[in-house]
Each structure stands twice: as C-alpha cells, then as structure tokens.
Chains A and B, each alone.
Chain A
Amino acid sequence: MDGEVHRAAASWENGTLAPVDRLRTERADSPTPGLVEGTEPGAGQKSAMFVHAQSFEDLTAETEEARKEAEGYSELGKPADSTDGIEVLMGKDTISEKQNKKEGWQDSKSKEEDVSSEAWRSHRKHVFVLSEAGKPIYTRYGTEEALSSTMGVMMALVSFVEADKNIIRSIHADGYKVVFLSKSPLVLVGVSRTSQSDKELMRELQYIYYQIVSLLTLTQLNHIFQHKQNYDLRRLLAGSEHLTDNLLHRLDRDPGLLLSAVTCLPLASSTRDVVSSSLQAAKAKSLVFSILLAGDYLVTLVRKKDQFLHHIDLHLVFNLVGSSSSFREGEGWTPICLPKFNTAGFFHAHISYLEPASDLCLILVSTDREDFFNLSECKQRFLERLSKRNAYQALKDALKSPSYSVAQVGIPELRHFLYKSKSSGLYTSPELPVVYQSEEEEERLMGLYHDLHSRLHHATRPLRSIYHCGETENLMAWVTSGFELYLCFSPLGTKALAVSAVNKLLKWIRKEEDRLFILSPLTY
C-alpha cells in the first residue's frame, strides 16, 4: 500500500500536477459493489456489437505477453551501450525545458522541419516506422530521408539485442522513453517525454501498425519484403501519411482510443431504432457491416450475424473517414483491410455522406469488390426509408447538439467524466466544461485521464480505484467487472462527496442509457 502511494506520487511528479506532498492516492474499496458485467448501465441487451469489447489488454496481450513467455525478454534499464545510440537521436538534456511548449497540431506536421533543430527534438512524442532492413517508412516529424541514418541506428539496436534471443522493449534515459515494437516485417519505435508507461506507448505503436496493415494487408506486406528486403515501402504508402498523423493526434486526444471504446450520438431510442432497422432493411448479400457515423460519434452499426467488428477496426474506419475530405463529394469505393478481423484480405467499403454538407457518413463494408452499384442502391433504400418514417429530420435535429453538458447530471462539483460500459464497448462523456476548452487544458485533462488509466491497468499492479487530490482538480477512477469510470471534480470537493457523486452519476447514466448507448444492436 505504501509502495503504491509512493510510486504513484513519483509518476505524477513528471506530469503537470501539484507538488508531491499534496498528493494523495488511495486504493478504495468499491463503494457500490455488485455491478456485474453485462448488467452495468449501457450494457447491450441482446448481444455485444464488438468482439473483445472489454479488453484493453487484448491489444498488447497476444503479442507482447505471448512473446515474452515464449522467448523471455529483457527490459533494458539504462545500459550504457544503448544510451550512446540514443544520444544521436535526442541530443542533450536541455530539451526538457521546452517540455510545455504549446504544439499547435495543425502546423506540428512540418515535414520540412530540420531534423537537427531544437524544434524537432522538442516534440513530446516521436514515432518512427522502419523496415527490418532499416529503411525508413514513416516519421511523425521531419522527413524520412533526413532520418535514414537515425533509423539505421535504431535497427542496429534492435537486431543487436535480438541476436541474443532477447527482445528490446524499451530504453529509459534522460527523461525519455524509447519503446520498440517489432512486428515483422515492420519495426516501430516511439520516443516519448510524456509520463505514459511503456505499455501505453506500446499500445499506441500497435495502433500505428494496424493503420499500416489496414492500407496494405499483412499478406501483401510480407509478400513485398520476402520478395525484396530492401523495398521502399513509402512508395505504396504515399498519400497515407496524414492518416497516420491523424491517428497519432487522436491517440493523444480521443478518449475512445484510450478506453478501447466508441461513443454514440445521444439519440432518442425510438429514433435510433428506426435508423437501425432502416439500415438493417437495406441489406445486400455481400454486406458485412453497415456503419452510420456522425463525426466521431457512432449513430448505429448493423452487422452480419456472427460477424463482429473490433473496436480497433472501427477506430481505423473513424480515422479514415475523419482524415479525408475525399468522401465529401460523390461516393467513395475503397479497399480496406480490417486487421482485427482478418489481416490477410481487403473488404471494400462504400463510403458516402448522406448529404454533401452533412456530418452523417454511411460506411457499407462489403466482401465483393464488384458490388459498388448494389451498395449504392442500398444507401438509396436506406435514405428513402429514413425519410418515409420521419427519422431523418429527428436525426438531423439530434446532430445540432451532439453532446450534453455535465450540468445535466446535477452534481455541482463534477466537471467532467468518462464512463465505459465494458460489455458493450461503448462509452459516454459530456462536453468539456469551459475550464478545459483551451487546447492546452484539453490536452492536460486528457493527460490526467491517461495517467489514471495507465495506473488502473498497470501491468503488474493493477488498481481498482484511485482518488487523487490535485491543485487544479480532484480525480477519481474506478474499474469494476462491468464498467470503467473516470471523474474530474473541482478541487474544492472531498472524497466523501466524490463517492456519493459516483452513485448519483451511475443512477443518472442508468436513467439516460437508452439515449446515450446502443442497447439493442441489430444484425441482418
């Protein structure tokens, strides 16, 4: 217990929080026990929409853990040898002073950026992708060409360690964490100055790996590199860099990626039911998933019986649609691999907005690449049904206020929260209150949630709940077999208040669940 408190305090220190002596972390017993998975607010009534809906671990588990066991791994602390290699990359310790420099995300992707400049070095999180031959494939900042020698060093490091039948997982040095993910035929490297754990960083690298696989399929990737080890993969990825850039941005900002969950457009259940059944009726033989999005909100999802969509695959779809205006005009038709479903093959997605200026985007995922016109007709049928049953207007009205204010909950001290129903894989969260609306504050709040999340899901010492008093806010996190809850309170509140707030909030969510969640997902 003592150890826990201490550890936690140390990890907060690196973040943006208050002095250590004011910190208090406690492992509380569940104040309202007995909420069992499948009965929590927001749990689907019939069947889950996603596979592995509740698993945060599944992202990392199958690969890392399995490999760890199979081959045994060594986590490198600060081996003198390796830090030399890392020096090349990060330079001296002067960098930490720039830590809090604001990073406007739009202009942060300055590809022309000089890779020897301070600005380049001062980015909080670098991500590199390289081939096993050490050829650069992607860098978040700067150009791949300029970094080819750096990437060469990284690859040398990876193979040096692997030669010993070990796997290099991470290097900690100088306030930096360097995390390696080897996913043949790719190697991904993250360099971070954030307080995120290795596990979290690894998870982010996994996402980037899946992003690349979704564009090419693993089969094609393997084929290419078997054929030509030295292949320059950038040729095939040309034009997709912004997808990866955007995904990295989302990983920092989007609670859904943190929680391995998706959020729904708040919608009267009667309206959602009509939308879902209209989509269900507009089916075609080759259809596997029909997904209706409104910006980053899921409106509804209909799937083929016995086929499940993984939340990672859904996030990749969100990212694809959100990163490109190319679907704005006309109807898009693109091959897409959903790596959690099958890394070997492409689906074909019909992607179109319901109206040019609308946020409502329909994605019809099919197995048949010849089926475009058939799916185009499905969309028409869907639209006709929607209008006939007067649901289209209701849907458009709901879109005018896609989020809700935390004030609706009626807990004065509560500023913000994230609530995830584990069995449905869906989460809900109010809009950010004014105090967190600036870019820096939003980023900071997300950073706090990231920290809580990483401590709840600590690889060796997971926690069930955390209460934390800070100077600018009090935080609470609680995980049960049914849900995960993260709360942000005004700093004036007390722990007793927070605990009673949780009960009140859970009741409120229960009351609102048919508006905030998709309780009855449909199949064709």
Chain B
Amino acid sequence: MSAIRVDAKVVMLGKESVGKTSLVERYVHHRFLVGPYQNTIGAAFVAKPIQVGEKVVTLGIWDTAGSERYEAMSRIYYRGARAAIVCYDLTDSSSFQRARFWVKELQNCEEHCKIYLCGTKSDLIEGDRSLRQIDYHDAQDFADEIGALHFETSSKTGNNVDELFHKVAEDYNNTAFQYMTEETGVDLGQKKDSCFYSCCHNN
C-alpha cells in the first residue's frame, strides 16, 4: 500500500499572511512564489522525507490557514504534533501577539509538542531596518521563557529555512532515540503506534 508513512507530525501556526505556506513551499519545493497572495483554505498536508545522520525521517507537515474562521478547527491539526512552528512576521507586531496566543494554546493542550518560534520575511528588514517591529532579543527572551527555539527566516532568499526544518527533524530523531534507550524492552514499533496514532494512519 502506498499510503504515506509519516514519522513526525509538524504543524505550522500563525496569523494569516505571515508566510507559513511560503516557508513550506521553500523547504519542500525550494522555491518562492511571487504573485498575488493566496490564503490557505483549511489546511494543506505534505509529507517530506529528510535525511538526519544515517536515518531518514519523514515529516508530515500541516500548513494551517491563519484565518480566524478556522480557529475552531485548529485542534485537529495540532493534536499529536511533535513540533509546532509558530510563525510571526518580523514586520508586523500584531502577528507576534497572535504567536503568543498559539503558544499558550499549545502549552495548554499539547504539552509534548516542541515549539519553534519563527520570525519570517527577514529579507524585508535586511533591505530596510526600520521595518523591523519585533526586536530580536525580545523574541529570543520569549522563546527562552517558553523553552522554544528561535529562528529568523526568509522564504524569499531561503535564509535559515533548511536549518529550521532540519533542526525539527534532528530534535525528533533525538527524542525518538531517547525513548528507545530509556524504555529498553519496549518494542519501538508499538511505542510508535501509540505516539502517532492520531497523526498518521498507517494501514
């Protein structure tokens, strides 16, 4: 059966038009689409295998729509996620408020989900520093406080994008490895099943 086999569920969260889709697009297809902005409708799923050391980890990435319309639906997208990339637009301070909202939501409902805080569109502030609305250190402090990793990326130039997703896969791989060493005697396959029951349906 050719159903997608996913190792880790990753969810993209953040206010509309912060650049979640562009981030996935850059990472998965190595490109940046110019032209009119197209909001995501509902959510889009894509599976992406990534080489980590000697292993291949397949990330199942859920790119959610930022529109409030889908907020009630968001749980089904982040439930059981191993990683959440919470995005904000470096040039839009209101998007940072929204990022805080998502962080709180994840802390309440998905405590095992690792959070990656991601400031997007860094190319814009490289062009014009005055456009920056979220101070790097403020964001870093917030990330430290919630135990998240912090990145600033540009989907336009590709800056830091691969690094972000690679880190997600690597962290997953390390924790998966941890499970294995800590819980000797437990069949990893079984563990996997219970872990990923909600995120992927294998067979």
Contacts and interface: CB of A to CB of B under 8 A. Distances in A.
Interface stretch (A116-124, A321-329, A427-435): A321-329
Contacts of A384: 2
A109 B12 CA distance: 30
B43 A239 contact: no
A333 B45 contact: yes
B44 interface: yes
Interface string B1-15: 111100000000000
Interface in B40-66: 40-46, 63, 65-66
Interface of B: 1-4, 16, 21, 24-25, 28-29, 38-46, 63, 65-70, 73, 76, 198, 200-201
A216 B69 contact: yes
Given A326-B44, A329-B25, A335-B73, A373 B2 contact: no
B66 to A, nearest CB: 8
A332 B69 contact: no
A235 interface: yes
A254 interface: no
Given A236-B67, A325-B38, 11 more contacts: A215-B69, A326-B40, A329-B28, A330-B45, A331-B45, A334-B65, A334-B70, A373-B3, A373-B4, A376-B3, A377-B1
B76 to A, nearest CB: 6
11 contacts: A215-B69, A238-B68, A326-B40, A326-B41, A329-B46, A330-B28, A331-B44, A331-B46, A333-B43, A335-B70, A349-B42
B9 to A, nearest CB: 11
A369 B76 CA distance: 8
A238 B2 contact: no
B32 to A, nearest CB: 13
A284 to B, nearest CB: 11
Given A326-B38, A380-B3, A384-B2, A372 B45 contact: yes
A370 interface: yes
Given A326-B21, A377-B1, A380-B1, A332 B67 contact: no
Contacts, number: 87
A369 B21 contact: no
A361 interface: no
A334 B29 contact: no
Contacts of A374: 201
Nearest to A238: B67
Given A238-B16, A370-B76, A374-B201, A332 B42 contact: yes
Nearest to A325: B38
A214 to B, nearest CB: 11
A239 B201 contact: no
B42 A335 contact: yes
Interface in A342-378: 349, 369-370, 372-374, 376-377
A237 B46 CA distance: 25
A373 B200 contact: yes
A384 B3 CA distance: 11
Contacts of B42: 332-335, 349
A109 to B, nearest CB: 10
A166 interface: no
Interface residues of A, number: 30
A159 interface: no
Contacts of B24: 329-330
A277 interface: no
Given A325-B38, A369-B76, A373-B200, A239 B46 contact: no
B1 A330 contact: no
Contact of A239 (B4, B63, B67, B198): B67
A271 interface: no
| Most chain A CB atoms below 10 A, which of B3, B44, B70, B201 | B44
Interface string A292-318: 000000000000000000000000000
A240 B69 CA distance: 10
Nearest to A373: B201
A320 interface: yes
Nearest to A384: B2
A216 B67 CA distance: 12
Nearest to B203: A377
Nearest to B61: A330
A238 B17 CA distance: 11
A239 B2 CA distance: 34
Contacts of A216: 69
Nearest to B70: A335
A333 B44 contact: yes
B67 to A, nearest CB: 5
Contacts of A327: 41, 44
Contacts of A237: 69
A329 B61 CA distance: 12
A397 B68 CA distance: 42
A324 B3 contact: no
B39 A326 contact: yes
A384 B1 CA distance: 10
Contacts of A334: 41-43, 65, 70
A325 B36 CA distance: 10
A302 B98 CA distance: 41
Nearest to B63: A330
Contacts of A330: 24, 28, 44-46, 63
Contacts of A215: 69
Contacts of A380: 1-3
A236 B41 contact: no
The 4 closest A-B pairs by CB, nearest first: A334-B42, A373-B201, A330-B46, A239-B39
A376 B68 contact: no
Contact of B201 (A240, A349, A369, A377): A377
Nearest to B73: A335
B44 A235 contact: no
A326 B69 CA distance: 16
Contacts of B29: 329
